[in-house]
Amino acid sequence: MNLYSTEFVILAGGCGTRLKVDLPKPVVKLGGKPMLLHILEMIHMLNPSEEIIISSSLRNMRAIKRMVNIPVKAVFCRQMKPSGTADAVRNVLRKIEIEEKNVLVILADRPLTKAGTIEKLIKKHIQTNSMITMLTSKVPNYDGFYRQVYYDGRIIRDSKGNIVGNLETNELSDREMNENMEVYPSTYIYNKDWLKENIEKIKKNPEKGEYYLTQMVNIARSQGEKVNSLTIDASETLGVNTQEQLTAAEEVLRARARSGEEQL
């Protein structure tokens, strides 16, 4: 499989604070191996034509190099002072010359997404000539397993089903959180040229003091640009930020093993 037109960027700057471990989040083990390795192995299956870019702090970079056997060609891009996901991607675009037409961004704490899913996402993005194509997940409720995605952001659609925005949880009321059943895991593929032209328009979040990549959807829609999505099962979009979510992710891996389903 040759996805020549896509550059992969992994945001691996997580500290692991909410996991309550004394390790950077990307190297916390899931199913016996670092979370980041799950993503790297998934990307390896896609046969990328270029080096994978791993954005991280110096502390995380050192831990990753020491603890992760990286199966693909990779280059690290150091984020000097972590200031949010958009700051990390902006830093990558400034420091590394990307030749590919598209840039796919995935978080290191989303280790359950499958290679086939990412392939479908890239193909849809290219076929629809969109500026942004993103993964989303629709859930029936926020009980049981689905409680683990409750604190993900929400997708906003119009009456025709078009994405008109995406909101972080701190931008939503409790009622809106409970009534909106479509979440997103912050996995996006962008048209690179459009991304470079517009990422500087992102404003600092007044509460967190950081720059969030989620604002790119709102910027694209304000310009009348295409924003598409691929909706997948929540078991693939689960983020691992707490011990409870780590336990839920372990159960997903065990369920896949019991059913003979491909892990990637």
1 pLDDT tier (thresholds 50, 70, 90)? very low
pLDDT at 241 (0 to 100): 93
Concatenated DSSP letters of 168-192: -GGGS-HHHHHH--EEE-S-EEEEH
What's the CATH number where 147 sits?
3.90.550.10
Domain membership flag for residue 264: no
pLDDT at 264 (0 to 100): 60
Domain membership flag for residue 144: yes
Over residues 117-125, mean pLDDT: 96
Domain membership flag for residue 77: yes
Question: Which structural domain range is residue 221 located in?
Answer: 6-257
Q: Is the pLDDT of residue 178 over 90?
A: yes
Domain membership flag for residue 95: yes
| Residues contacting residue 258 through CB under 8 Å, at least 6 positions apart | none
Number of structural domains found in the chain: 1
Domain membership flag for residue 1: no
Domain membership flag for residue 262: no
- Give the number of other CB atoms < 10 A from CB of residue 179: 10
Per residue in 93-120, pLDDT (tens digit) is 999 999 999 999 999 999 999 999 999 9
Question: What dihedral angle (degrees, nearest 10) is formed by the CA atoms of 82, 76, 113, 2?
Answer: 140
Give the closest residue to 132 by CA, choosing from 236, 50, 239, 224. 224
Over residues 108-137, mean pLDDT: 96
Task: Please give the angle made by the CA atoms of 67, 4 and 122, to the nearest 5 degrees.
Answer: 85
DSSP label at 131?
Answer: S
Domain membership flag for residue 263: no
Q: How many helices (H) and strands (E) does the chain have?
A: 9, 12
Domain membership flag for residue 206: yes
Q: Which residue has the higher pLDDT, 32 or 18?
A: 32
User: What residues pair up with 164 in beta bridges, in sequence order?
Assistant: none
Per residue in 228-261, pLDDT (tens digit) is 999 999 999 999 999 999 999 999 999 999 988 7
pTM above 0.85, yes or no: yes
Question: Distances from the Cα of 150 to the Cαs of 59, 74, 160, 165, 176, in angstroms?
Answer: 30, 33, 25, 18, 11
